[in-house]
Amino acid sequence: MRYDLNLLPIFIALIEERSVTRAAERMGITQPALSKALSRLREMLKDQLFVRERYGLRPTPLALALAPGIAEALAKLDDAVLGQQDFDPAKAERLLTIASNGYVEYVLTPAIVAHLQAVAPGVKLRLTPYGTDLAETGVTSGTTALVLGRIIDPPDNLVVQHLMDEGLACIVRADHPDVGDVISREQFEALKHVNVMPPGRLRAGLFQALARQELKRDVALSVTNFFAVGEMVAVTDYCATLPKLICRRLAHDPRLKVLTAPVDLGTFPVEMAWHVRYRHDPAHRWLRSTIAEVVADLSSTAA
pTM, full prediction: 0.72
Neighbours of 64 (CB within 10 A): 12
pLDDT score recorded for residue 69: 84
pLDDT score recorded for residue 79: 63
**DSSP helix/strand/coil, 8:** helix
143-159 tens-digit pLDDT: 789 999 989 889 888 99
Residue 83 near residue 284 (C-beta atoms within 8 A): no
24-82 tens-digit pLDDT: 887 888 999 999 999 999 999 999 999 998 878 999 999 989 888 887 787 777 666 65
For the chain, list the domains and their CATH numbers: 7-82 (1.10.10.10), 94-164+270-302 (3.40.190.10), 168-266 (3.40.190.10)
Burial 112-125 (b: 16+ CB within 10 A, else e): beeebeeebeebeb
Q: Give the helix/strand (H/E) hosting 112.
A: helix 109-119
Q: Where are the beta strands (DSSP E) in the chain?
A: 50-53, 56-59, 94-100, 123-129, 146-149, 158-166, 168-173, 192-196, 218-223, 239-243, 256-260, 268-275
181-221 tens-digit pLDDT: 999 999 999 999 999 886 544 556 778 888 889 999 999 99
